[in-house]
Amino acid sequence: MIPEYTTVVGVDRKHLQQLSHTWPTWKRHKPLLLNSPMIIFYDYREVSESHIRIVVDHPQLTTVPWPFSASVQFQGAGTTKWNDPQRHKMLCGFVHVAAKHVRTPYWLKLDCDVVAVGVDDWIDPTWFDNVPAIVAHRWTFTKPPDQMDLFDQWVEENRGRLPFFQGFKPLNLHPASPESDRLSHKRIISWCGFFQTSFTCLCAHAAEVTCDPLHLPQPSQDGYMFYMAKRLELQILPVNMKKIGWQHWGTMQNVIEHSWRAMQ
């Protein structure tokens, strides 16, 4: 049986522009999304609720301004993808907004640069037989390469605040060589993925008691949630979302082109 779920999307100015192209493909090719609640959290410094409702006509849409407090600041040098404060802000939203606002057993994360194609019958009920913490697109590496090490360090530095890690060993995942730009290992990536809501609340709590308000230990939503599930020995189910009608495109040009093709 497919559990009830809520679709969660995060937008700022850039991502709302992407969503204006991909949303019609979601409606056409995955119309069952319209039968479940949808939450869009938005950077209220860049877009407004009215902008979102012009783009998205979901019948069960809730919009949430993000961050929850204007006093919360997301710092970073902004010289690379990994230390961009805007990226960090939006990724933090997926954990904290979902934990606070989702009322269904699971939530579905969809990135705004994901194009829907193919048939609507894409969710396999057997994915949820063992109540996994995560069901998401399979992936084979982590960047930056020291991210899993930094999560191990975070647990060690905060053992008194994170008692639920007692008895669970560090992952001890290291790159094959010091010069490597990535850590090669089996994991998930979250441009299309389901996350258990109770598990998400645990992730939000762990971040809240150890980090600045509304932040994450490292600026990676899927890296953080993968680490939490893996360290706590919860089920993580990697699946191939590309085989069941989802395409992930990184640039606006590709988003526009492939969204147009999907609507022909």
Structure tokens at 72: 């919360």
d(CA 77, CA 35): 41
Under a CB-based contact definition with an 8 Å cutoff, are residues 138 and 38 in contact? no
Domains and CATH numbers, the chain: 5-138+190-262 (3.90.550.10)
The confidence score (pLDDT) of residue 176 equals: 85
Looking at this protein, which amino acid is placed at residue 143?
K
Query: SS3 of 38, please?
Result: strand
Per-residue model confidence as pLDDT tens digits over 190-235: 999 999 999 999 999 999 999 999 999 999 999 999 999 999 999 9
pLDDT at 77 over 70: no
For 137-191, the DSSP string reads: EEEEEESSTTHHHHHHHHHHHTGGG-GGGTT--------SSTT-SSEEEEEEEEE
In this prediction, residue 75 has a pLDDT band, given cuts at 50, 70 and 90, of confident
Instruction: Name the residue with tokens 């930094």.
Output: 150
What's this model's pTM, rounded to 2 decimal places? 0.97
Per-residue model confidence as pLDDT tens digits over 136-155: 999 999 999 999 999 999 99
Query: SS3 of 129, please?
Result: coil
Query: SS3 of 247, please?
Result: strand
d(CA 240, CA 1): 20
